Amino acid sequence: MIPSFDSDGNLPVGIHLVRWDEFANAFGRTAHRKRLLRGLEAATRLLRVAGCKRIYIDGSFVTAKRVPNDFDVAWEPAGVDLALLQSMEPVFFDFKYQRAAQKAKFLGEFFPSSAKADLVGNSFLEFFQVDKSTGNPKGIIALDL
């Protein structure tokens, strides 16, 4: 179950594991959000084929923001056939120009969850759980693929 947003419009602190149908129903309520959701779904199909078991979703898509910019995904690399993923879709490994190719293809950004996200050394999984505007902890969504 997806909890209610806090006063900042974020999910409450924690990693909230939900099913795809719950996620799509909660966050795919407008035409714009449905379009973003289709991009995310296309990418998750490829990640699943390559062996990814779980993704973590962040970005304005999982906030109360009416018109989100995009979504950000940290994918679990354990068990992923990186060569297969690279051959199926090299855009997952293209981080140039602020991940423009990822955004163009899937309407969001993708990072290995264990990769370093900042100069302090936080992984993307850790980095996603902090509100970049306030510095406060916040929640994210997890989906098992």
Q: Which residue range forms the structural domain that includes residue 22?
A: 14-137
Nearby residues of 74 by Cβ (< 8 Å), 6 or more positions away: 55, 56, 58, 110, 111, 112, 113, 123, 124, 125, 128
Mean pLDDT of 16-45: 97
Kindly state whether residue 9 falls inside one of the protein's structural domains: no
For position 44, what pLDDT does the model report?
98
Q: What is the pLDDT of residues 96-108, one digit of tens each?
A: 999 999 999 999 9
Across the range 13-40, mean pLDDT stands at 97
Q: Structural domain tally of the chain?
A: 1
Count of alpha carbons within 13 angstroms of residue 7, beta-carbon side: 2
Confirm whether 6 is domain-assigned: no
46-75 per-position pLDDT tens digit = 999 999 999 999 999 999 999 999 999 999
Between CA 8 and CA 104 the distance in angstroms is 29
Pairing of strands 139-144, 54-58: antiparallel
What is the pTM assigned to this prediction?
0.96
Residue 5 lies in a domain: no
